Amino acid sequence: MSDSLYLELADFEHDVHTGIYSEETGKPQPLRFTVRAKLKALDFYDADTSLDESKNYMDLKFACSEALGDRHYKLIEAVADNVCETLFLQDKRIEQVEVKIVKLALSEADERIGITLTRERRG
């Protein structure tokens, strides 16, 4: 059994063009992202271990913001898929990505409405 390292971005909010209903289209809506990226862990990390042995956490944030661009996504599932694929393309060491998206505009009483997509690297 090998160890795993999970990098995480939690509760990052970003406006994304998404939705299928008329009140959703034409303007971006706020989404809250939590992303976990699984990498194979080293046997040991010491004080001098370089960043090259892990992954820059800001790459997770980039995948949930700039990498999405201005494109309109009908489903937040497609947004999550784009985040996964962006991270897989960035770093071949990523084995799995989990993306949780909450649609903040739908909340009426602080409930969290959204999806979680877990994707394993293919091939």
> pLDDT digits over 105-114, tens only?
877 787 889 9
Number of domains in the chain: 1
Q: Give the model's pLDDT for residue 44.
A: 86
- The whole domain housing 64 covers 4-120
Q: Give the model's pLDDT for residue 2.
A: 81
CA distances from 72 to 18, 19, 34, 37 (A): 5, 8, 20, 25
Q: Give the model's pLDDT for residue 110.
A: 78
Contact between 39 and 54 (Cβ < 8 Å): yes
For the entire predicted model, the pTM comes to 0.91
CATH number of the domain that residue 31 is part of: 3.30.1130.10
pLDDT in tens, 78-87: 999 999 999 9
Mean pLDDT of all residues in 34-54? 90
> Could you tell me the pLDDT band of residue 52, with boundaries at 50, 70 and 90?
confident
